[in-house]
Protein backbone atom coordinates (compact mmCIF):
# COMPACT_ATOMS: atom_id res chain seq x y z
CA UNK A 1 0.00 0.00 0.00
CA UNK A 2 1.16 3.54 -0.80
CA UNK A 3 2.11 6.27 1.58
CA UNK A 4 2.03 10.02 1.80
CA UNK A 5 5.29 11.25 3.24
CA UNK A 6 6.13 14.79 4.35
CA UNK A 7 9.69 15.46 5.28
CA UNK A 8 10.50 18.73 7.02
CA UNK A 9 8.03 20.75 4.95
CA UNK A 10 8.22 24.47 5.51
CA UNK A 11 6.67 27.43 3.77
CA UNK A 12 7.49 31.10 3.90
CA UNK A 13 5.34 33.23 1.58
CA UNK A 14 6.96 35.90 -0.55
CA UNK A 15 5.83 38.62 1.87
CA UNK A 16 7.89 36.93 4.59
CA UNK A 17 4.96 35.29 6.35
CA UNK A 18 5.85 31.82 7.69
CA UNK A 19 2.89 29.50 7.24
CA UNK A 20 4.45 26.06 7.88
CA UNK A 21 7.40 24.90 9.99
CA UNK A 22 9.12 21.53 9.56
CA UNK A 23 6.05 19.38 9.07
CA UNK A 24 6.95 15.70 8.93
CA UNK A 25 4.61 12.73 8.90
CA UNK A 26 3.81 9.52 7.12
CA UNK A 27 0.33 8.12 6.47
CA UNK A 28 -1.06 5.38 4.24
CA UNK A 29 -2.86 6.68 1.16
CA UNK A 30 -6.18 5.05 1.91
CA UNK A 31 -9.32 6.09 3.72
CA UNK A 32 -9.89 9.59 5.01
CA UNK A 33 -7.22 11.83 6.45
CA UNK A 34 -8.58 14.95 8.14
CA UNK A 35 -6.35 17.91 8.77
CA UNK A 36 -7.77 20.15 11.45
CA UNK A 37 -6.70 23.46 12.84
CA UNK A 38 -7.87 26.97 13.54
CA UNK A 39 -8.13 29.61 10.82
CA UNK A 40 -4.64 30.54 9.71
CA UNK A 41 -3.08 27.33 11.08
CA UNK A 42 -1.65 26.47 7.66
CA UNK A 43 -4.13 23.85 6.46
CA UNK A 44 -4.58 25.38 3.03
CA UNK A 45 -0.85 25.91 2.63
CA UNK A 46 -0.09 22.26 3.39
CA UNK A 47 -2.93 21.05 1.18
CA UNK A 48 -1.75 23.18 -1.72
CA UNK A 49 1.82 21.98 -1.44
CA UNK A 50 0.74 18.33 -1.41
CA UNK A 51 -1.64 18.83 -4.32
CA UNK A 52 1.13 20.32 -6.52
CA UNK A 53 -0.32 23.84 -6.45
CA UNK A 54 2.35 25.53 -4.37
CA UNK A 55 6.10 25.15 -4.02
CA UNK A 56 7.40 24.45 -0.52
CA UNK A 57 10.23 26.65 0.78
CA UNK A 58 11.85 23.82 2.72
CA UNK A 59 11.71 20.05 2.80
CA UNK A 60 9.82 17.80 0.46
CA UNK A 61 6.89 15.44 0.13
CA UNK A 62 5.91 12.42 -1.88
CA UNK A 63 2.73 10.49 -2.48
CA UNK A 64 2.95 6.80 -3.32
CA UNK A 65 6.62 7.33 -4.09
CA UNK A 66 6.01 10.25 -6.47
CA UNK A 67 7.67 13.51 -5.48
CA UNK A 68 5.29 16.49 -5.38
CA UNK A 69 7.87 18.65 -7.15
CA UNK A 70 9.76 16.36 -9.51
CA UNK A 71 6.92 13.99 -10.41
CA UNK A 72 4.10 16.54 -10.31
CA UNK A 73 2.85 15.65 -13.77
CA UNK A 74 2.50 11.98 -12.92
CA UNK A 75 0.72 12.84 -9.69
CA UNK A 76 -1.65 15.15 -11.53
CA UNK A 77 -2.83 12.20 -13.63
CA UNK A 78 -4.02 10.62 -10.40
CA UNK A 79 -5.31 13.49 -8.30
CA UNK A 80 -8.43 15.60 -8.17
CA UNK A 81 -8.39 18.78 -6.13
CA UNK A 82 -11.13 21.05 -4.89
CA UNK A 83 -9.48 24.20 -3.47
CA UNK A 84 -10.92 26.18 -0.60
CA UNK A 85 -13.59 28.51 -1.97
CA UNK A 86 -13.76 26.73 -5.31
CA UNK A 87 -17.15 27.27 -6.93
CA UNK A 88 -19.15 25.63 -9.66
CA UNK A 89 -19.00 28.02 -12.61
CA UNK A 90 -22.07 30.22 -12.51
CA UNK A 91 -22.96 30.22 -16.21
CA UNK A 92 -22.80 26.45 -16.61
CA UNK A 93 -25.00 23.57 -15.51
CA UNK A 94 -23.71 20.77 -13.25
CA UNK A 95 -23.44 18.43 -16.23
CA UNK A 96 -21.56 21.02 -18.30
CA UNK A 97 -19.18 21.77 -15.43
CA UNK A 98 -18.34 18.14 -14.82
CA UNK A 99 -18.05 17.37 -18.53
CA UNK A 100 -15.54 20.20 -18.98
CA UNK A 101 -13.52 19.08 -15.98
CA UNK A 102 -13.32 15.54 -17.34
CA UNK A 103 -12.21 16.85 -20.74
CA UNK A 104 -9.38 18.68 -18.97
CA UNK A 105 -8.54 15.35 -17.41
CA UNK A 106 -8.16 14.05 -20.95
CA UNK A 107 -11.36 12.04 -21.37
CA UNK A 108 -13.29 12.03 -24.65
CA UNK A 109 -16.44 14.12 -24.84
CA UNK A 110 -18.89 11.21 -24.94
CA UNK A 111 -17.32 9.44 -22.00
CA UNK A 112 -17.10 12.72 -20.09
CA UNK A 113 -20.77 13.46 -20.66
CA UNK A 114 -21.78 9.93 -19.70
CA UNK A 115 -19.82 10.09 -16.44
CA UNK A 116 -21.12 13.58 -15.71
CA UNK A 117 -24.72 12.38 -15.94
CA UNK A 118 -23.92 9.36 -13.81
CA UNK A 119 -22.18 11.31 -11.05
CA UNK A 120 -24.87 13.99 -10.92
CA UNK A 121 -27.36 11.20 -10.36
CA UNK A 122 -25.09 9.63 -7.78
CA UNK A 123 -25.09 12.79 -5.65
CA UNK A 124 -28.88 12.94 -5.94
CA UNK A 125 -29.06 15.93 -8.25
CA UNK A 126 -30.65 14.45 -11.38
CA UNK A 127 -33.45 17.01 -11.33
CA UNK A 128 -30.91 19.82 -11.31
CA UNK A 129 -28.57 18.30 -13.87
CA UNK A 130 -29.24 20.96 -16.49
CA UNK A 131 -30.05 24.00 -14.38
CA UNK A 132 -27.53 26.80 -14.19
CA UNK A 133 -25.18 26.47 -11.21
CA UNK A 134 -25.91 30.06 -10.21
CA UNK A 135 -29.49 29.08 -9.45
CA UNK A 136 -28.58 26.18 -7.16
CA UNK A 137 -28.48 26.34 -3.36
CA UNK A 138 -25.14 26.55 -1.54
CA UNK A 139 -25.25 22.86 -0.64
CA UNK A 140 -26.04 21.86 -4.22
CA UNK A 141 -23.23 23.98 -5.62
CA UNK A 142 -20.80 22.20 -3.35
CA UNK A 143 -22.23 18.83 -4.36
CA UNK A 144 -21.46 19.65 -7.99
CA UNK A 145 -17.77 19.83 -7.08
CA UNK A 146 -17.98 16.54 -5.22
CA UNK A 147 -19.73 14.95 -8.19
CA UNK A 148 -16.86 16.25 -10.30
CA UNK A 149 -14.36 14.48 -8.09
CA UNK A 150 -16.44 11.30 -8.10
CA UNK A 151 -16.62 11.35 -11.89
CA UNK A 152 -12.89 11.97 -12.24
CA UNK A 153 -11.88 8.48 -11.22
CA UNK A 154 -8.83 10.04 -9.56
CA UNK A 155 -7.69 8.05 -6.54
CA UNK A 156 -5.90 10.85 -4.64
CA UNK A 157 -8.45 13.44 -3.65
CA UNK A 158 -7.80 16.75 -1.91
CA UNK A 159 -10.70 18.78 -0.55
CA UNK A 160 -9.97 21.99 1.33
CA UNK A 161 -12.85 22.74 3.72
CA UNK A 162 -15.49 21.09 1.54
CA UNK A 163 -18.25 21.53 4.11
CA UNK A 164 -17.47 24.97 5.51
CA UNK A 165 -20.35 27.40 5.39
CA UNK A 166 -23.01 24.78 4.66
CA UNK A 167 -26.04 24.14 6.83
CA UNK A 168 -25.89 21.02 9.05
CA UNK A 169 -28.11 18.95 6.77
CA UNK A 170 -26.11 19.66 3.63
CA UNK A 171 -22.97 18.98 5.59
CA UNK A 172 -24.26 15.60 6.65
CA UNK A 173 -25.23 14.72 3.08
CA UNK A 174 -21.87 15.81 1.80
CA UNK A 175 -19.98 13.77 4.39
CA UNK A 176 -21.99 10.70 3.44
CA UNK A 177 -20.90 11.11 -0.16
CA UNK A 178 -17.31 11.59 0.93
CA UNK A 179 -17.34 8.50 3.15
CA UNK A 180 -18.69 6.49 0.26
CA UNK A 181 -16.01 7.92 -2.00
CA UNK A 182 -13.25 7.00 0.45
CA UNK A 183 -14.00 3.29 0.19
CA UNK A 184 -11.59 2.85 -2.66
CA UNK A 185 -9.68 6.14 -2.72
CA UNK A 186 -7.59 8.37 -0.55
CA UNK A 187 -9.26 11.53 0.71
CA UNK A 188 -7.23 14.37 2.18
CA UNK A 189 -9.70 16.75 3.78
CA UNK A 190 -9.33 19.88 5.85
CA UNK A 191 -12.09 20.97 8.17
CA UNK A 192 -12.79 22.74 11.40
CA UNK A 193 -15.87 20.71 12.24
CA UNK A 194 -14.33 18.45 14.82
CA UNK A 195 -17.27 16.13 15.47
CA UNK A 196 -17.42 15.42 11.76
CA UNK A 197 -13.70 14.79 11.48
CA UNK A 198 -13.90 12.44 14.45
CA UNK A 199 -16.75 10.47 12.96
CA UNK A 200 -15.42 10.26 9.43
CA UNK A 201 -11.64 10.26 9.48
CA UNK A 202 -9.43 7.22 9.74
CA UNK A 203 -6.54 9.47 10.68
CA UNK A 204 -6.44 13.01 11.98
CA UNK A 205 -3.67 15.58 12.10
CA UNK A 206 -3.80 18.72 14.22
CA UNK A 207 -2.03 21.74 12.82
CA UNK A 208 -1.46 24.86 14.87
CA UNK A 209 0.51 27.90 13.87
CA UNK A 210 2.21 26.04 11.04
CA UNK A 211 3.28 23.10 13.18
CA UNK A 212 1.89 19.60 13.23
CA UNK A 213 1.06 18.89 16.88
CA UNK A 214 -0.11 15.28 16.60
CA UNK A 215 -1.25 12.79 14.05
CA UNK A 216 -2.98 9.45 14.31
CA UNK A 217 -6.27 7.61 14.63
CA UNK A 218 -8.63 8.75 17.39
CA UNK A 219 -7.32 5.92 19.58
CA UNK A 220 -3.75 6.92 18.97
CA UNK A 221 -4.50 10.57 19.67
CA UNK A 222 -6.23 9.68 22.94
CA UNK A 223 -3.34 7.49 23.99
CA UNK A 224 -0.95 10.40 23.54
CA UNK A 225 -2.73 12.51 26.12
CA UNK A 226 -2.57 12.25 29.92
CA UNK A 227 -6.35 12.68 30.17
CA UNK A 228 -8.48 10.28 28.19
CA UNK A 229 -11.79 10.60 29.93
CA UNK A 230 -14.25 13.37 30.23
CA UNK A 231 -16.80 13.78 32.99
CA UNK A 232 -19.58 16.30 32.74
CA UNK A 233 -21.33 17.38 35.84
CA UNK A 234 -23.32 20.40 36.99
CA UNK A 235 -21.09 23.31 37.89
CA UNK A 236 -22.03 23.28 41.58
CA UNK A 237 -21.27 19.58 42.21
CA UNK A 238 -18.92 18.54 44.97
CA UNK A 239 -15.82 16.93 43.48
CA UNK A 240 -13.11 15.01 45.30
CA UNK A 241 -9.57 16.26 44.70
CA UNK A 242 -8.09 14.81 41.50
CA UNK A 243 -5.37 15.19 38.88
CA UNK A 244 -6.68 16.65 35.66
CA UNK A 245 -8.20 19.67 34.03
CA UNK A 246 -11.44 21.45 34.70
CA UNK A 247 -13.23 23.69 32.28
CA UNK A 248 -16.62 25.28 32.09
CA UNK A 249 -18.47 24.06 29.00
CA UNK A 250 -20.65 26.17 26.77
CA UNK A 251 -23.71 24.42 28.23
CA UNK A 252 -22.82 25.77 31.68
CA UNK A 253 -21.73 22.32 32.83
CA UNK A 254 -18.39 21.61 34.35
CA UNK A 255 -16.13 19.35 32.32
CA UNK A 256 -13.36 17.36 33.92
CA UNK A 257 -10.63 15.86 31.76
CA UNK A 258 -8.74 13.15 33.51
CA UNK A 259 -7.16 9.69 33.40
CA UNK A 260 -9.10 6.44 33.53
CA UNK A 261 -8.26 5.74 37.17
CA UNK A 262 -9.11 9.23 38.32
CA UNK A 263 -12.31 9.10 36.30
CA UNK A 264 -13.40 5.94 38.17
CA UNK A 265 -12.52 7.56 41.45
CA UNK A 266 -14.50 10.71 40.68
CA UNK A 267 -17.45 8.72 39.34
CA UNK A 268 -17.68 6.66 42.52
CA UNK A 269 -17.70 9.78 44.59
CA UNK A 270 -20.36 11.37 42.38
CA UNK A 271 -22.50 8.24 42.54
CA UNK A 272 -22.31 8.29 46.32
CA UNK A 273 -23.40 11.90 46.47
CA UNK A 274 -26.14 11.08 43.92
CA UNK A 275 -24.99 13.75 41.46
CA UNK A 276 -26.07 13.41 37.83
CA UNK A 277 -23.05 13.15 35.57
CA UNK A 278 -21.80 11.61 32.34
CA UNK A 279 -18.55 9.78 31.72
CA UNK A 280 -17.15 9.47 28.20
CA UNK A 281 -13.88 8.94 26.41
CA UNK A 282 -12.57 12.32 25.30
CA UNK A 283 -13.72 13.64 21.94
CA UNK A 284 -11.61 15.26 19.25
CA UNK A 285 -12.83 18.57 20.60
CA UNK A 286 -11.30 17.72 23.99
CA UNK A 287 -8.10 16.52 22.36
CA UNK A 288 -7.86 19.71 20.38
CA UNK A 289 -8.41 21.76 23.51
CA UNK A 290 -5.72 19.90 25.39
CA UNK A 291 -3.20 20.09 22.56
CA UNK A 292 -3.77 23.64 21.42
CA UNK A 293 -4.91 25.17 24.69
CA UNK A 294 -7.92 26.73 23.03
CA UNK A 295 -11.08 25.56 21.34
CA UNK A 296 -11.02 25.50 17.56
CA UNK A 297 -13.54 28.30 17.21
CA UNK A 298 -12.43 30.62 20.01
CA UNK A 299 -11.99 34.08 18.61
CA UNK A 300 -13.81 33.34 15.33
CA UNK A 301 -17.44 33.75 14.50
CA UNK A 302 -19.40 30.59 13.96
CA UNK A 303 -19.93 30.57 10.23
CA UNK A 304 -23.00 28.54 9.47
CA UNK A 305 -25.03 28.91 6.32
CA UNK A 306 -24.01 30.84 3.22
Ligand X SMILES: Nc1ncnc2c1ncn2[C@@H]1O[C@H](COP(=O)(O)OP(=O)(O)O)[C@@H](O)[C@H]1O
Binding site for ligand X (CB under 6 A): 13, 15, 17, 19, 37, 39-45
Within 105-164, which residues bind other proteins (CB under 8 A)? 105-109, 112, 132, 158
Q: What is the DSSP letter of 184?
A: S
CB of 43 to ligand X, least distance (A): 3
Q: Which lies closer to other proteins via its Cβ, residue 51 or residue 170?
A: 51
- How far is residue 64 from each of residues 29, 50, 71, 103, 117, measured CA to CA in Å? 7, 12, 11, 25, 31
**Can you tell me the distance from the alpha carbon of 158 to that of 83, in angstroms, rounded to the nearest whole number?**
8
Q: What are phi and psi of 20, to 5 degrees?
A: -140, 140
- Contact segment (CB under 8 A) with other proteins among 22-30, 99-107, 182-190, 293-301 equals 99-107
Q: Can you tell me which of 87, 114, 224, 265 binds other proteins, judged by CB under 8 A?
A: 87
287-297 as b/e: b if 16+ CB within 10 A: bbbbebeebbe
Q: Is 44 in the site for Mg ion (CB under 5 A)?
A: yes
Burial state string for 191-224 with b = 16 or more CB within 10 A and e = fewer than 16? bbbbebbbebbbbbbbbbebebbbbbebeebbee
| Sole window of 42-50, 94-102, 107-115, 260-268 interacting with Mg ion (rule: CB under 5 A) | 42-50
Q: Is 134 helix (H, G, I), strand (E, B) or coil?
A: helix
* Separation between Cα atoms, residue 122 and residue 119, nearest integer Å: 5
For residues 216 and 210, is the Cβ–Cβ distance under 8 A? no
Q: What are the backbone dihedrals phi and psi of residue 52, each rounded to the nearest 5 degrees, phi first?
A: 60, 25
Site for Mg ion in 55-94 (CB under 5 A): 84
The yes or no reply on residue 30 touching Mg ion (CB under 5 A) is: no
Q: Residue 6 binds what, of Mg ion, ligand X, other proteins, none (CB under 5 to 8 Å, by partner type)?
A: none
**Is residue 16 involved in binding other proteins (CB under 8 A)?**
no
Cα separation, 245 vs 230, in Å, equals 10
Closer of 19 and 213 to other proteins (Cβ): 19
CB of 47 to ligand X, least distance (A): 7
Given ligand X, other proteins, Mg ion, none, residue 41, with its beta carbon under 5 to 8 Å by kind, binds ligand X
CB 63 within 8 A of CB 1: no
Q: Which of 160, 156, 158 is nearest to 36 (CA)?
A: 160
Residue 231 interacts with which of ligand X, Mg ion, other proteins, none, CB < 5 to 8 Å by class: none
- Alpha-carbon distance of 130 to 72, in angstroms, equals 34
Give me the least distance between CB of 19 and ligand X, in Å please. 3
Contact call for residue 255 and other proteins (CB under 8 A): no
Rounded to a whole number of angstroms, the minimum distance from the CB of residue 153 to other proteins is 12
40 near other proteins (CB under 8 A):
no
Site residues (vs other proteins, CB under 8 A): 14, 48, 51-55, 72-73, 76-77, 79-93, 96, 99-101, 103-109, 112, 132, 158
Amino acid sequence: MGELVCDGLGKVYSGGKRALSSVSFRIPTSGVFALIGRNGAGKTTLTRILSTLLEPSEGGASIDGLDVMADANRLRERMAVVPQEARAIAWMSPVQMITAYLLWRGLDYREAKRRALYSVEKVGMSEHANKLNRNLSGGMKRKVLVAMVIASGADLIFLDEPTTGLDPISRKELWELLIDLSKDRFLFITTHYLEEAERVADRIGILDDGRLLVLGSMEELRAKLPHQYSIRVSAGADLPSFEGEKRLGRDGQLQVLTSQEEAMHISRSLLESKEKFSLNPITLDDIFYQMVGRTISSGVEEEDGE
